[in-house]
Structure 1
Amino acid sequence: MLQHDRLFIGGDWVAPAGTATIDVVSPHTEEVVGRVPDGTPADMDRAVAAARQAFDDGPWPRMTMADRAEVVGRLAALYAARQAELAELITLEMGSPITFSQMAQAPQPLGMLQYFSELGKTFAVEDERPGVFGPVVVRREPVGVVAAIVPWNVPQFVIMTKLAPALIAGCTVVVKPAPETPLDSYLLAEMIKEAGVPDGVVNIVAAGREAGEHLVAHPGVDKVAFTGSTAAGRRIGAICGERLKRCSLELGGKSAAIILDDCDLSAAMGFLSIASLMNNGQACVAQTRILASSSRYDEVVQAVSDMVAGQRVGDPADPSTGIGPLVARRQQERVEGYIRAGIDEGAKPVVGGLDRPRDRGWYVAPTVFAGVSNDMRIAREEIFGPVLSVIPYTDEEDAVRIANDSDYGLSGSVWTADTEHGMDIARRVRTGTYGVNMMNTMDPSTPFGGYKASGIGRELGPEGLAAYLEYKSIARLG
């Protein structure tokens, strides 16, 4: 069992203020596999004080962006050497299939470090513009102390969407990992120290909701960057709004994959299996509404059912596993509650259902519903598990209407033999990311975020760096 008895604050490993601990439980075996301190509000106070001092008095914000980029580049090199270790650790913590951890959980955060390191070498901190009374210098300065609050489903990925641009910008950061997945953050802390990031620039305190809300409301925090549920995002947004504190919110999704009549179903299913079921369905961008025309509806239901039924359910550490367990018992029960609701509303489970595939571990049978209308709960609410709904449409106008008829607007896709026509569809669906014959893979160089209840702001790309900068206009005469 992996045990840690310290917190990473001020560049050092320090004893926690309290005695409570967090048990990390394997979703596969239901056994405790790790234990870390449960951070308290007092620990958050210490972490914010360290970040505040590092920002107000330390060298980090006063270094050139290119010099900060060099340090982030060193961190990227250390990260690259420990990808396999990170992948295995995340699979142990939260049940992500090892193939997904090796393909995405570890490499994508590395890609973000590398991208922002390169961007920082050339990004213009100042530019001069002609003003009415003379030249005006527009300057970009770091926003200050950032609270980065991250979920359990892709822990390193989400940490890095915030940490990498914040570091390049010159901010200091307090990271609060989710209590389900704190172990990988200890590995990150080791690399941060080895890379030579100045003391206090990054502080990491795993904790629950009470300490997290204390961090959000802390007067020493200038910006909150949150990824998680829409309900929690509303609460954080309200706290930040009351205090006029900057915030970015990356929240839920209920994305639609539109299958056009000219789609080659056999070719599409391989890609759609990733787009819909990645990470055991625990992905905010998952394409869980499959829209099929009435004329091909039965054919699409069969193709999706065959694809889902072909997924091997089992030990997430086994490379042959396609679907592993959900992160916790409460998540298992939540997803099963949605399956029950779908049945109660009249939808038909053609694959899966309420019979658990394994007696031990927090497994749910991957499920496909047919006969779904877009007003059902399983079509409107984010389930966050391996449950897909196939919804019929009459024509393309109806398909776009159904795709847009959602409280969310995070992702989506269209599947067609005519790529240009697919682009036309993509421009009409109101989501922050979209794919034509693929899932948008969240390239580090392009903005990621959502419309409507999927959040506020964008991460990644130059837009993601801009989220950690304040803009100052300096006019002068002579």
Structure 2
Amino acid sequence: MDTKSESLTKYKMWIGGEWTEATSGAYFESYNPYTGKPWALMPRAGAADIDRAVQAAHQAFTAGAWPKMTASQRGALLRKLGDLITDNADALAKIEVRDNGKLFSEMRGQTAYMAQWYYYFGGLADKIEGAVIPSDKADTFNYTEHEPLGVVAAIVPWNSPLLLTAWKLAPALAAGNTAVIKPSEFTSASLLEFCKLIEKAGFPPGVVNAVTGFGDEAGAPLIEHPLVAKITFTGSDKTGQRIYETAARGMKRVSLELGGKSPNIVFDDADLDNAVKGAISGIFAATGQTCIAGSRLLVQRSIHDRFVDKLVAFAKTARIGDPMSLDTQVGPVTTPPQYKKVLDYLDIAKSEGATTALGGNRAEEFGGYFVEPTIFTGVRNSMRIAQEEVFGPVLAVIPFEDEEDAIAIGNDVVFGLAAGVWTQSMRRAFLMAKRLQAGTVWINTYRAVSYLSPFGGYKRSGIGRESGQEMIKEYLQTKSVWISMATEVPNPFVMR
């Protein structure tokens, strides 16, 4: 290892209640997107490390303190973890900014808010109830109970590692499962820092494990491991499809929160100033690196030009720079491959004939992986820039004629994660909410999420839901119990 690498922060993985290196002793560098330079070293896990982690989680699920805990005791641990998150929100946010380049103001809001998932599901842990089933069989009693699945493999992306971990881990633990978490190789540091809070909260060894590494070396062995009962994944639809196919071979449960190409629809009766802010929030907040990005802006033709003028004028004021500065509004793209992908899509849009109303280039003066906030007009919904997820600060503006046209364009895509509608008409708001094929529809707002509300997608945007009371069932299985009170067993050759 060279002198440069020796000066970097070196992390260890969290497996079976111990901090450990990879079996191979290998590490890989994690880069700061703002500077483009490495700042930390992460253990490069392989199949042997994955097996260690899954075995530790399986052991914790089947023996020891965890399965002996009551649901109320599990809930108390989760709420204690929520307190620790609240106390350490600033420190966790700073690590995330250094690792993924998103704004400190955004990450600080996320790390503080994510405690609510642990509070909420901690409170829900002892409220998982079965049912007594009315029986049509004489002298029998039938009831159901809900039980945990076992080892949950949680694979989280690089754009909001800790918040999206909370969406998966809090309900999984509340239901009584154990977990092995694999973060993106681009943003592993914050999860390992978070595991220090897991340790401090007093979770039994092996209940939560964190492994770091690359998809083919660590991710694939994790989803293929025979002791993994469920896989929960957030990421691209192509990777999600491969995980789904692999899980099917092992008959594993899956929850997939995948990509989006969400329509943000502005009608001519909307409050245009508010709609401009909603459009900006939908695509330039978080540098467009959110699955719910409103990357297709549908504007009614009668106000198209006026609205675009307002939008471009507002977007020009966006301040690009150091994500740690509270004045910065647009930070860098998180990873080098994603940076190249976004730049490639700028060229694709131009080659397709889209008009560049704003930006359209790399922001070279800032160093790191910066892209100018970009707005394309003259976009047809059939263009690649309108059909494929860019995952960057790139907006495609598409005109529409009326409600039917907006619905047709909005639904004409393989994704269905979210949609936004800007209108003052109550009738239109309910109509659009009903007919848009999206798991979340926002009316006169955008990017609102809550631990109280289910989140997930239609079509290639995923399977299952995260957050909300009902979704804890994603981490449970139902058992039906029959008790006979008959004094004599009837004919054993006939089904009762």
The TM-score by the shorter chain falls in which range? Answer: over 0.9
**Which residue of 239, 245, 251 maps to 2:258?**
251
Partner of 1:69: 75
Contact 2:75 2:122 in 1 (8 A): yes
1:242 partnered with 2:249? yes
Partner of 1:11: 17
Closer, same or farther in 2 for the Cα pair 1:275/1:355, shift >3 Å?
Answer: closer
Displacement of 1:440 in angstroms is 4.8
**Any idea what SS the aligned residue of 2:484 has?**
coil
CA displacement, residues 38-70 of structure 1 (integer Å, 9 cap, x when unaligned): 111111010001001011113323422221101
Partner of 1:132: 136
Partner of 2:494: none
Partner of 1:48: 54
Partner of 2:491: none
Contact 1:258 1:414 in 2 (8 A): yes
Higher mean Cα deviation, 232-241 or 354-363? 354-363
Counterparts of 1:2 and 1:111 in 2: how far apart (Å)?
A: 33
Displacement of 1:463 in angstroms is 2.5
CA displacement, residues 410-459 of structure 1 (integer Å, 9 cap, x when unaligned): 00110011245312211110111110001252211111110000011111
1:111 partnered with 2:101? no
CA RMSD of aligned residues (A): 1.4
**Which residue of 122, 127, 142 maps to 1:122?**
127
Could you tell me the percent identity over the aligned residues?
A: 38
Q: Please tell me the residue identity of whatever aligns with 1:436.
A: I
Structure index of larger Rg = 2
1:360 partnered with 2:367? yes
Counterparts of 1:110 and 1:76 in 2: how far apart (Å)?
A: 4
Q: Which runs of 4+ in 1 moved over 6 A?
A: none
**Any idea what SS the aligned residue of 2:91 has?**
helix
1:337 partnered with 2:341? no
Counterparts of 1:447 and 1:58 in 2: how far apart (Å)?
A: 33
Counterparts of 1:470 and 1:397 in 2: how far apart (Å)?
A: 42
Contact 1:340 1:354 in 2 (8 A): no
CA displacement, residues 125-172 of structure 1 (integer Å, 9 cap, x when unaligned): x22121222432111000110110111000001111110000000001
Counterparts of 2:362 and 2:58 in 1: how far apart (Å)?
A: 52
CA displacement, residues 326-371 of structure 1 (integer Å, 9 cap, x when unaligned): 0122211110111111110110010001252425110011100000
Counterparts of 1:43 and 1:62 in 2: how far apart (Å)?
A: 27
Contact 1:356 1:363 in 2 (8 A): yes
Displacement of 1:274 in angstroms is 1.9
Counterparts of 2:444 and 2:70 in 1: how far apart (Å)?
A: 42
Higher mean Cα deviation, 223-232 or 292-301? 292-301
Partner of 2:430: 423
**Which residue of 319, 325, 329 maps to 1:312?**
319
Q: Please tell me the residue identity of whatever aligns with 2:127.
A: T
**Which residue of 219, 223, 243 maps to 1:216?**
223
Counterparts of 2:426 and 2:39 in 1: how far apart (Å)?
A: 47
1:60 partnered with 2:66? yes
**Which residue of 438, 451, 455 maps to 2:462?**
455
Counterparts of 2:366 and 2:98 in 1: how far apart (Å)?
A: 19
Partner of 2:490: none
Q: How does 1:58-207 map to 2 (within 5 A)?
A: 58-104=64-110, 106-124=111-129, 126-133=130-137, 134-207=140-213
Closer, same or farther in 2 for the Cα pair 1:25/1:388, shift >3 Å?
Answer: same
Equivalent residue pairs, number: 476
Instruction: Note the residue ranges of structure 1 that are not aligned, 5 or more in a row.
Output: none
**Which residue of 426, 441, 448 maps to 1:434?**
441
Counterparts of 1:394 and 1:420 in 2: how far apart (Å)?
A: 18
Q: Please tell me the residue identity of whatever aligns with 2:136.
A: V
Displacement of 1:270 in angstroms is 2.4
Displacement of 1:212 in angstroms is 0.6
Displacement of 1:272 in angstroms is 3.0
Q: Please tell me the residue identity of whatever aligns with 1:129.
A: I
Q: Please tell me the residue identity of whatever aligns with 2:57.
A: A
Contact 2:264 2:294 in 1 (8 A): yes
Closer, same or farther in 2 for the Cα pair 1:236/1:316, shift >3 Å?
Answer: same
**Which residue of 278, 289, 298 maps to 1:271?**
278
Counterparts of 2:229 and 2:64 in 1: how far apart (Å)?
A: 17
1:411 partnered with 2:418? yes
Partner of 2:493: none
Contact 1:433 1:440 in 2 (8 A): no
Counterparts of 2:131 and 2:365 in 1: how far apart (Å)?
A: 60
TM superposition score normalised by structure 1: 0.97
Q: Please tell me the residue identity of whatever aligns with 2:367.
A: R
TM superposition score normalised by structure 2: 0.94
Displacement of 1:113 in angstroms is 1.0
Displacement of 1:216 in angstroms is 0.4
Counterparts of 2:235 and 2:249 in 1: how far apart (Å)?
A: 20
Closer, same or farther in 2 for the Cα pair 1:324/1:60, shift >3 Å?
Answer: same
Contact 1:272 1:438 in 2 (8 A): no
Displacement of 1:98 in angstroms is 1.2
Higher mean Cα deviation, 375-384 or 325-334? 325-334
